Amino acid sequence: MTMTGIKTTGDQPAVGVFALQGDVAEHERVLTALGARVSKVRSGSDLEGLDGLIIPGGESSVMDKLSRLLGLAPAIQSAVADGLPVYGTCAGMIMLADRIANPITGQQSLGGLDITVRRNAFGSQVESFETSLGVDEVSDKLVHAVFIRAPAVTQSGPEVQVLTRVETGEPVAVRQGNLLATSFHPEVTGDWSFHRYFLERIVAARG
Ligand code: GLN
């Protein structure tokens, strides 16, 4: 079967979007347009049968609080440990980071990626910016990237592959095994390269 730009050998991949907080609908739209089967994830049982999960942009401290309160956090952590492909954008990157340099009081992350992130590293909402980034692993064209109160990766372990950096040198897209994270929001730009890349990783992981 062929999805837009993606060759799969079996059914369409089932991709969940973490839906307790954040820009859920934007990811759902892109994934649906690319031919994935999409569902919202609000509890551990929603993870059943998924081939992949996206954690959107939003507010990581709220995502953290709600996901622990509702028992979704440990379910995602065990799915990650079992190899579920997960892609985190912006707040989602913070959720996947093993370490947060500047958490709010009591804030934890799910972890999985051997990185340290600094929240709001590029300034406040009014300092949001857009740029184009070369990301050889993901696309042969420049990728359009929007940064909104975005985190930067300030340290990464040996298993982490840095996919691209901003001009000032901070890594803003990383991959480690089945985990992918970007500081920016491809879901709001109309540039679907990272979603395509993630779906390809899912297909490879299922392979
Ligand atoms: N600064 C936010 C946080 O800490 C992330 C912003 C975003 O996802 N656009 O979660």
**Average pLDDT rounded to a whole number, residues 167-187:** 96
Sign of torsion, CA 133 134 136 142? positive
Q: What is the pTM of this model?
A: 0.94
Give 206's pLDDT tier (boundaries 50, 70, 90): confident
User: For the chain, what is the mean pLDDT?
Assistant: 94
Residues 110/143, Cβ–Cβ less than 8 Å: no
DSSP reduced 3-state for 50: coil
Of 130, 144, 86, 143, residue with least CA distance to 110:
86
Residues 28/14, Cβ–Cβ less than 8 Å: no
User: Is 27 assigned a catalytic role?
Assistant: no
Active-site choice (26, 28, 90, 195)? 90
Mind listing the pLDDT tens digit for each residue in 23-52? Answer: 999 999 999 999 999 999 999 999 999 999
Task: Give me ligand 1 centre to Cα 166, in Å.
Answer: 17
Ligand 1 neighbours, Cβ below 6 Å, are 57-60, 90-91, 94, 119-120, 148-149
Give 2's pLDDT tier (boundaries 50, 70, 90): very low
CA atoms of 12 and 51, how far apart (whole Å): 10
Write the CA distances from 95 to 11, 51, 90, integer angstroms: 29, 19, 9
Q: What percentage of residues in the chain have a pLDDT greater than 90?
A: 89
Active-site choice (26, 27, 28, 187)? 187
- Tokens 């779906």 belong to 199
Q: Ligand 1 test: best mutation among 20, 23, 55, 59, most atoms within 8 Å of CB? A: 59
Task: Give me ligand 1 centre to Cα 85, in Å.
Answer: 21
Q: Ligand 1 test: best mutation among 62, 126, 149, most atoms within 8 Å of CB? A: 149
Mind listing the pLDDT tens digit for each residue in 77-103? Answer: 999 999 999 999 999 999 999 999 999
Residues 85/52, Cβ–Cβ less than 8 Å: yes
Q: Ligand 1 test: best mutation among 89, 90, 102, 182, most atoms within 8 Å of CB? A: 90
Q: What is the pLDDT of residue 10?
A: 58
Q: Which amino acid is at 86?
A: V
DSSP assignment letter at 132: E
Residues 23/185, Cβ–Cβ less than 8 Å: yes
Q: How many CB atoms lie within 10 A of CB 88?
A: 30
The β-bridge relationship of strands 171-176 and 113-118 is: unpaired
Q: How far is CA 191 from the centre of its chain?
A: 15
Q: What is the pLDDT of residue 7?
A: 45
CA atoms of 11 and 152, how far apart (whole Å): 36
Task: Give me ligand 1 centre to Cα 151, in Å.
Answer: 7
Q: What is the pLDDT of residue 125?
A: 86
Q: What is the pLDDT of residue 120?
A: 96
User: Is 159 assigned a catalytic role?
Assistant: no
CATH of range 2-206; options 3.40.50.300, 3.40.50.880, 3.40.309.10, 2.60.40.2480:
3.40.50.880
Residue 171, classified by CB atoms within 10 Å of its CB into exposed (0-12), middle (13-18) or buried (19+), is buried
Domain boundaries, the chain: 2-206
